[in-house]
Amino acid sequence: MSILITTVVSVFIFGLVVMIHELGHFICAKKAGIQVNEFSIGMGPALFSRVKNGTRYSIRALPVGGYVSMEGEDEELSEEEQFSDPEIPPEAKTGLPFPKVKVWKRIIVVAAGAVMNLVLGFVVLLLLFSGSDTLASRTVALVEEGSAVEASGLQVGDEILAINGRRCFVTNDIIYELQRSEDFTADFTVKRNGEKVQINDVQFDQVQNGDTVTMNMGFKVYALEKTPLNVIGQAFDYTLFYARLVFRSLVDLVTQRVSVTELSGPVGIVSAINQAAGMGLSEVLSLLALLTVNLGIFNLLPFPALDGGKLVFLFIEGIFRRPLPKRFEIWVNMAGLFFLFAVMIFATFNDITRLF
């Protein structure tokens, strides 16, 4: 895939995911009556900038982030507000500072960015499934004759509910859990003739592929009838599937099931976009859905510097009727930000190492 196409697609995906996220913050802040000083897509030097109704709208050179700057959000308020942007005079700022708005409104504003990412993921998946030829169910349609799966007791008509104790909502859940299974063996929970049945130690045939050994699933599932209700259901379930991947990946890192050397950063994402662009529009949209849902869920994690960390401070303020000291919040967020930058640098180093 040419560098030009990869660049265009990468900028489109990064820009759309960031714009939707920041738009969520921006719209809710405006509705809550908060003064928004700047709405920026991208970081670094400004390529385009315009002031309208007391807010600066900017497009910046680096399409790797963005921000909504709200009055008083990250600084201690004084009796007389200080305005650093000469093009936005104090009289043009008709909104309230962020800390002066009711705490429940601030919670909505902070959470809105991640929610918009999830909504975007759902809409993209809705478009994908609307244009697909078939929808896959979780009901077994075929078991290969003479296969290890057949000998283990899996039958045609079984609806797969869980694998290794983990609930399966979509076919990708089934594939994901089987890939994580050890020794080509898994425990199935199925619905058979209206009853829940446990099938332990389901065996899978092994296929030698060069130096690697892969699993032969040995069964196929029925297609779902393509109705509007089924399309919406699949889009919703796959949004949940992508969301669960974030938590599963974090658990795998903590438990060392996956090495930290597998972490990937912006370079790895661009490499994935390059591969997706070479496979067609549907793969690009699938990756877009994955990235935007991942960004939404990741931002809701209760970690300093993320939206989830800010929500923790707001919930504490709501419970105790008073905010924590602003200086403490700033230092905690700075520490979290430095940690996230360190992780990004490490992940980028991993990406570059894999490339060369």
Tell me whether residue 22 is one of the annotated catalytic residues.
yes
Q: How far apart are the C-alpha atoms of 241 and 136, rounded to whole Å?
A: 14
Task: Tell me how far apart the alpha carbons of residues 5 and 1 are, in angstroms, rounded to a whole number.
Answer: 7
Which runs of consecutive H residues, i.e. helices, occur in the chain? 3-31, 103-131, 148-152, 171-180, 228-254, 266-279, 281-299, 307-320, 326-355
CB 189 within 8 A of CB 196: yes
Which of 22, 38, 177, 329 is catalytic? The answer is 22
Q: How far apart are CA 304 and CA 330, in angstroms?
A: 9
- Name the nearest CA neighbour of 54 among 39, 71, 37: 37
| Residues composing the chain | 356
Burial class (CB in 10 A: 0-12, 13-18, 19+), 228: exposed
Tokens of 173: 């859940």
Task: Show which residues are catalytic.
Answer: 22
